[in-house]
């Protein structure tokens, strides 16, 4: 790739030069996932957690016509203040945004693509996108799943967002050959809830074991990502009936309003936070922090192999 399109922060440049472990972080969660100022505080704390656990954070976005790998505090604050005025950017949008100098907050798929360009193997996020409920009629399937199928980045998340059809999401990942690893769990976490009714492919109980699997996978030339499903801490896990009712109500209202495409997830997350009196937002923040910690531990272990 032509280097004129990518720009690294000084911290990331130094880490790459020294061979230090890195963890990619997305920016959609800043601009579209949470209100200001919680979004900025959460993003800065995510970076601190990664550093505290031995790795270097690389928050990714598109700014001023560049793929930015590593953001300053000022750039993070800019994304947080601008919020939904920053375009939510999937893989599909990357070239257009750069050519048109449109600032973009990167989704899971876009962050994975840019992380892979930079040689970053581990990415920590909240929850991945997946197969939406009713996809048999709408064909609404997140680009995150296709990116996992072809991009060599391990994604640490609290499973798939519980607004999705979790069973069909797992079926899609199986078809694409993407391993789904449960960290200290046999069951797929469901974002706000620590568990669901669906089993993961493999359970692994240490970051070192996960790192060894990643090294083996890529040594064998098995391309594509790995989904590492890390349950939300039990203190923040929400009651399944409560969250399911909030999701049903939010989806019904979204359908009435005719909201579709990439606006669905931000709308549903905001509506669910309102319906749960902010409890879902607190859970969202807790699970992201938990994933950043595990992502850093896996990156450190992988860096030693």
- Token pair listed for 17: 């030069």
| Residue bearing the bigger pLDDT, 135 or 293 | 293
Average pLDDT over residues 26-38: 93
Catalytic residue, candidates 26, 75, 147, 297: 26
* Of 30-39, 215-224, 293-302, the least confident: 30-39
Position 267 in a domain:
no
Average pLDDT over residues 213-227: 97
Look up the domain containing 85 and give its range: 3-236+280-303
Q: What is the CATH number of the domain that holds 189?
A: 3.40.1790.10
- How sure is the predictor about 242, in pLDDT bands with cuts at 50, 70 and 90? confident
User: Cβ contacts of residue 278 below 8 Å, gap of 6+?
Assistant: none
* Of 148-162, 193-207, 274-288, the least confident: 274-288
Position 131 in a domain:
yes
**pLDDT of 137 over the 80 cut:** no
**pLDDT of 278 over the 90 cut:** no
* Of 14-28, 35-49, 142-156, 231-245, the least confident: 231-245
**Domains held by the chain: number:** 1
271 tagged catalytic: no
- How sure is the predictor about 141, in pLDDT bands with cuts at 50, 70 and 90? confident
Average pLDDT over residues 94-120: 97
Catalytic residue, candidates 68, 88, 161, 279: 161
161 tagged catalytic: yes
pLDDT at 254: 85
Per-residue pLDDT tens over the stretch 36-86: 999 999 999 999 999 999 999 999 999 999 999 999 999 999 999 999 999
- How sure is the predictor about 143, in pLDDT bands with cuts at 50, 70 and 90? very high
Position 158 in a domain:
yes
Is residue 22 classed exposed, middle or buried when 0-12, 13-18 and 19+ CB atoms within 10 A define those classes? buried
- Pairing mode of beta strands 104-106, 56-63: antiparallel
**pLDDT of 190 over the 80 cut:** yes
Is residue 3 classed exposed, middle or buried when 0-12, 13-18 and 19+ CB atoms within 10 A define those classes? exposed
Position 273 in a domain:
no
pLDDT at 262: 67
pLDDT at 244: 81
pLDDT at 304: 96
Q: Which residue has the tokens 């709408």?
A: 138
Tell which residue, 66, 86, 75, 91, has the closest CA to residue 7: 66
Per-residue pLDDT tens over the stretch 246-261: 888 888 898 889 887 7
Average pLDDT over residues 85-101: 96
DSSP string, 33-86: IS-TTHHHHHHHHHHHHHHHTT-EEEEEEEETTEEEES--HHHHHHHHHHGGGS
Position 241 in a domain:
no
Q: The pTM is what?
A: 0.92
* Of 82-91, 118-127, 262-271, 279-288, the least confident: 262-271
Position 202 in a domain:
yes
Helix (H, G, I), strand (E, B) or coil at 173: helix
**pLDDT of 91 over the 90 cut:** yes
pLDDT at 303: 98
Torsion over CA of 293, 203, 150 and 140, rounded to 10 degrees? -90
Position 18 in a domain:
yes
Position 11 in a domain:
yes
Query: What is the rounded CA–CA span in Å between residue 121 and residue 152?
Result: 7
């Amino acid at each position: 790739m032509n280097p004129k399109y990518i720009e690294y922060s000084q911290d990331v440049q130094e880490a790459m030069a020294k061979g230090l472990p890195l963890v990619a972080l997305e920016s959609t969660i800043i601009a579209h996932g949470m209100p200001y100022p919680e979004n900025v505080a959460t993003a800065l704390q995510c970076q601190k957690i990664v550093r505290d656990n031995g790795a270097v954070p690389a928050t990714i976005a598109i700014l001023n016509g560049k793929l930015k790998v590593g953001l300053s505090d000022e750039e993070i604050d800019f994304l947080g203040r601008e919020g939904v005025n920053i375009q939510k950017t999937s893989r599909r949008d990357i070239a257009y945004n750069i050519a048109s100098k449109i600032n973009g907050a990167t989704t899971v798929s876009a962050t994975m693509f840019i992380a892979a360009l930079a040689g970053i193997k581990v990415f920590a996020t909240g929850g991945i996108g997946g197969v939406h409920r009713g996809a048999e009629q709408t064909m609404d399937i997140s680009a995150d799943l296709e990116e996992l199928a072809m991009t060599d980045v391990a994604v640490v998340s609290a499973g798939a967002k519980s607004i999705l059809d979790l069973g069909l999401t797992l079926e899609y990942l199986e078809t694409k050959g993407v391993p789904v690893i449960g960290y200290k769990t046999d069951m797929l976490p469901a974002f706000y809830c620590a568990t669901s009714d669906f089993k993961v492919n493999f359970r692994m109980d240490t970051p070192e074991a996960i790192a060894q699997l990643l090294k083996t996978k890529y040594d064998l030339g098995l391309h594509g990502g790995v989904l590492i499903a890390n349950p939300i801490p039990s203190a923040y896990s929400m009651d399944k009936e409560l969250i399911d009712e909030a999701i049903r109500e939010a989806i019904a209202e979204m359908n009435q309003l005719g909201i579709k495409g990439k606006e669905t997830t931000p709308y549903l997350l905001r509506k669910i936070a309102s319906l749960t009196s902010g409890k879902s937002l607190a859970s969202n923040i807790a699970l992201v922090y938990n994933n950043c910690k595990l992502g850093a531990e896996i990156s450190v272990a992988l860096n030693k192999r």
